């Protein structure tokens, strides 16, 4: 095929159009100017083209691509320039890699002839991203651009999803297209479904007296949530949904145990403690879930599409490499079922303490804020968080009802994820209310994206649970390090006593004053609430507002996230109070 009238930039936008890419999130710069010029020309001519959403910093754009992918199941795309643009994108790339998020990150690069000369804004993007991406490409010849883009999008979404990086030289964007190179031949073969191994997993489940399914994010990626529900009902097996699988099983379902692990629910952790059989479906054996003695005295089975996960952290036998949908359909068609009334009765007793009850006081309890948001949104909002205590309270007290409504950073634990990811999630599904629950520490790490929010009239409702601390670190320091939290107090100033480590509920120095952000970002409504009795009304006011809202919620400064399994401890040593 000859494309004598097209440039590389034209090929780029043609391919993305053919792939039905609706949005790109990014920031511009010298090494991607040809792409933006071509896009602008197409828009000026009234041609159909993806929408480019300008972020204030490249990292924010990358997290928005993640939020878009998590909320929609479609591939999230970010486009940034070379050098610092690419390096700012490495955290979102690593974040997407840890949580298996289907994303394509496109970076500009200096002209191909300048590579290796330490040119202005040159960086080895391929070398930087190799260990944190599913695959990456450096495009130095326009003849390779078309097939590389097609393959990148294919790899991002197939098998175990993940981020793919395309590093695109500037001269390739400007070059005129001649004859194009054919795609490379790939030698990897799909693993055929092994019925014998699948039957071995089912047989082990049928033999068990106290089985538990540990459902991971792979259930959501595979679109298998409904099949999972039918499976757990058919075999009467309770299911713990890991962090990345929240929403795959509705909160109120009798088999739902909630989230397991360090800050998991009482029923999830106790069921995993007492289980004689644990079946992990599409999930890793993360160190915050597979804690000390996790597998002791238990049969562990594992079904996953990624063969590298089988036996990586915990030995599993039986095990099966397969698409989760294929396995669940096979199990449901097997004609087998089970009844375990005694085990489900015990699970039901534990479920009476999910979520864990909490007390009241003169300060607002963060658990009450999350429960109020859950009630007023009927558990149907797309819920986004940053990283910290607020994130764990959200996992515990929001009553999730559907897959893809939970958008948060799991494996990497990236503070600052919340605001840009919420913007991406809104573009993915604007028909659902998007609520961001953040902490005062995490929120400030990408606070500049309020500019993106108000410029695009995005009606995200932001609730900052403000305790004046980097709260999760403060909690660990109090529980395990003698209360030395000098560098975790966000109210500290140069005038403070250097030896001050005692939390003071009355010390509320604000850096920044969040309510004053309405003067900085026009069209942003801001509210503050300090009184527990006024909190529900303020939450309702924010949710009913038509535009973006930021609510500064002054919560109890020393409230801890419980339950908690401390590092190095077993599930049976969980702290409940």
Distance CA 473, CA 488 (A): 7
Q: Of 55, 151, 153, 170, which one is the catalytic site residue?
A: 170
58 is a catalytic site residue: yes
Report the distance separating Cα 574 and Cα 356, nearest Å.
13
DSSP H or E stretch at residue 396: helix 389-397
Cis peptide upstream of residue 512 (ω within 30 degrees of 0):
yes
How many CA atoms lie within 13 Å of 165's alpha carbon, on the beta-carbon side? 33
Is 495 in the active site? no
Catalytic residue among 43, 47, 120, 544: 120
Write down the catalytic residue from 38, 58, 122, 309.
Answer: 58
Of 472, 464, 475, 232, nearest in space to 366 by CA: 464
Q: Burial level of 484, CB count in 10 A (0-12/13-18/19+)?
A: exposed
Long-range (24+ apart) CB contacts under 8 A made by 560-563 are: 560/389, 560/475, 560/478, 560/479, 561/263, 561/389, 561/392, 561/393, 561/396, 561/472, 561/475, 562/263, 562/356, 563/263, 563/264, 563/265, 563/266, 563/269, 563/356
Q: Per the structure block, which two tokens stand in for 350?
A: 């534990």
CA distance 194 to 304: 12
Cis bond before residue 318 (omega within 30° of 0): yes
Q: Which residue has the tokens 């400064």?
A: 557
Q: Which residues contact 497 (CB under 8 A, 6 or more apart)?
A: none
Sheet holding 23-26, edge to edge: 51-54, 23-26, 76-80, 103-109, 163-169, 135-139
52 catalytic? Reply is no
Contact 490, 511 (CB under 8 A): yes
Query: From the candidates 121, 505, 510, 566, which is the catalytic residue?
Result: 121
Q: Which value, to the nearest 10 degrees, does the dihedral of the CA atoms of residues 337, 341, 344, 345 take?
A: 170
Query: Tokens 């929240």 identify what position?
Result: 246
**CA–CA distance, 357 with 382 (Å, rounded to integer):** 24
| Sheet hosting strand 256-258, strand order edge to edge | 256-258, 239-241, 211-215, 277-281, 299-304, 319-321
Tokens of 123: 């960086």
Q: Of 472, 535, 564, 574, which one is the catalytic site residue?
A: 472
Closest alpha carbon to 175 in 149, 148, 142: 142
Peptide bond into 355 cis (omega under 30): yes
Nearest-10 Cα torsion for 204, 207, 208, 212: 40
Known catalytic residue at 472: yes
- Name the 3-class secondary structure at 408: coil
Please report the beta strands in 74-139, taking only residues with DSSP state E, as ranges in sequence order. 76-80, 103-109, 135-139
| DSSP3 helix / strand / coil % (the chain, rounded to 5) | 40, 15, 45
**Between the CA atoms of 121, 123, 126 and 131, what dihedral angle is there, to the nearest 10 degrees?**
-130
- Residue 121: active-site member: yes
Q: Cα separation of 451 and 455, whole Å? A: 6
Catalytic residue IDs: 58, 120-121, 170, 472
């Amino acid at each position: 095929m000859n494309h004598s009238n097209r440039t590389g930039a034209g090929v780029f936008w043609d391919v993305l159009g053919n792939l039905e890419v609706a949005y790109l999130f990014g920031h511009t710069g010298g090494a991607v100017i040809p792409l933006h010029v071509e896009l602008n020309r197409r828009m000026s001519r009234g041609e159909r083209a993806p929408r480019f959403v300008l972020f204030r910093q490249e990292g924010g754009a990358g997290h928005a691509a993640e939020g878009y992918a998590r909320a929609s199941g479609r591939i999230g795309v970010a486009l940034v320039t070379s050098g610092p643009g690419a390096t700012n994108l490495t955290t979102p790339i690593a974040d997407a890699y840890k949580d298996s998020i289907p994303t394509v990150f496109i970076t500009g690069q200096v002209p191909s002839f300048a590579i290796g000369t330490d040119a202005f804004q040159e960086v080895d993007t391929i070398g930087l991203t190799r260990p944190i991406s599913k695959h990456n490409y450096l495009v130095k010849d326009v003849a390779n651009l078309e097939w590389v883009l097609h393959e990148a999008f294919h790899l991002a979404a197939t098998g175990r999803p993940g981020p793919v990086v395309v590093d695109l030289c500037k001269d390739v964007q400007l070059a005129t297209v001649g004859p194009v190179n054919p795609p490379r031949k790939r030698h990897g073969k799909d693993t055929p479904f092994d019925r014998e191994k699948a039957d071995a997993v089912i047989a082990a489940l049928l033999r068990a007296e106290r089985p538990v399914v540990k459902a991971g994010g792979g259930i959501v990626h595979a679109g298998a949530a409904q099949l999972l529900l039918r499976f757990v009902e058919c075999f009467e097996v309770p299911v713990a949904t890991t962090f990345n699988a929240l929403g795959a099983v509705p909160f109120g379902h009798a088999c739902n145990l909630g989230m397991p692990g360090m800050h998991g629910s009482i029923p999830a952790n106790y069921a995993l403690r007492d289980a004689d059989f644990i079946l992990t479906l599409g999930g890793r054996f993360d160190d915050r879930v597979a804690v000390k003695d996790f597998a002791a005295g238990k049969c562990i089975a594992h079904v996953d599409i990624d063969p590298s996960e089988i036996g990586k952290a915990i030995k599993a036998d039986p095990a099966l490499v397969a698409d989760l949908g294929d396995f669940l359909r096979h199990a449901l068609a097997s004609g087998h079922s089970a009844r375990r009334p005694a085990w489900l009765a015990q699970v039901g007793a534990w479920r009476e303490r999910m979520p864990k009850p909490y007390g009241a006081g003169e300060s607002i309890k963060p658990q009450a804020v999350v429960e109020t948001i859950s009630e007023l949104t009927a558990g149907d909002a797309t819920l986004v968080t940053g990283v910290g205590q607020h994130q764990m309270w959200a996992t515990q007290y929001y009553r999730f009802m559907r897959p893809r409504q939970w958008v948060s950073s799991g494996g990497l634990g990236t503070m600052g994820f919340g605001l840009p990811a919420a913007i991406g999630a809104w573009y993915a599904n604007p028909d659902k209310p998007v609520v961001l629950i953040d902490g005062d520490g995490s929120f400030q790490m990408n606070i500049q994206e309020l500019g993106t929010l108000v410029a695009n009239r995005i009606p995200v409702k932001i609730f900052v649970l403000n305790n004046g601390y980097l709260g999760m670190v403060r909690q660990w320091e109090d529980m395990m390090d003698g209360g030395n939290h000098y560098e975790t107090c966000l109210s500290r100033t140069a005038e403070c006593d250097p030896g001050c480590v005692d939390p003071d509920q009355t010390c509320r120095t604000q850096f920044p004053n969040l309510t004053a952000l309405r003067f900085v970002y026009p069209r942003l409504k801001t509210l503050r609430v300090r009184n527990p009795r006024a909190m529900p009304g303020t939450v309702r006011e924010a949710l009913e507002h038509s535009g973006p809202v930021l609510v500064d919620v002054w919560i109890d400064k020393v409230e801890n996230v419980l339950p908690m399994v401390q590092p190095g401890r077993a599930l049976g040593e969980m702290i409940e109070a």
